[in-house]
Amino acid sequence: MDKVYICLNFKLNREMVCPLAQVEEVFKTTQGAVYQCSRKNCYWLEFQHSTTAFKISDFFLFKKRIDAIDVASMIGDASRSADFEIVMPFRTERCFLLSVADVLALKEILSGAKFAIELNSEVKKILRGGNVFAL
């Protein structure tokens, strides 16, 4: 995993090194990424050219909310109001205006991040337990 630094103005910028918050990449696609900050015990979502910080529990609630968006009904509904979904994550000042493509991209990012987080947790659990598996 790449180590990245975030400055406190909440803009992710690899060229600006801020020693206060070191983060590690959890999952990345061409559309965005999720980073984990061990110092602040939070996740950072980089999406739509901005970065949003989430407490751990809020991150997983946000993922559930995005997963609950019915993309099929967005596509099948001919009304203009169905073209976009507005999502305001809990305890953030961010508002996401998501098209169908944005919802799909965000679902991919969040699902990949959740998988990576759970996999890392399981690997650490196995290593702590001293379990060794023979092939």
Burial class (CB in 10 A: 0-12, 13-18, 19+), 10: middle
At residue 133 the predicted structure's pLDDT band, cuts being 50, 70 and 90, is: low
Tokens 């493509």 belong to residue:
101
Residue 8 in 3-state DSSP?
coil
pTM comes to 0.79
DSSP characters over 38-100: TTTTEEEEEETTEEEEEEHHHHHHHHHHHHTS-HHHHHH--SGGGS-EEE--TTSS--EEE-H
pLDDT in tens, 81-126: 889 999 999 988 899 999 999 999 999 999 999 999 999 989 988 8
User: Over the stretch 44-76, which tens digit does the pLDDT of each residue have?
Assistant: 999 999 999 999 999 999 999 999 999 999 999
Q: Which of 83, 76, 79 is nearest to 97 (CA)?
A: 83
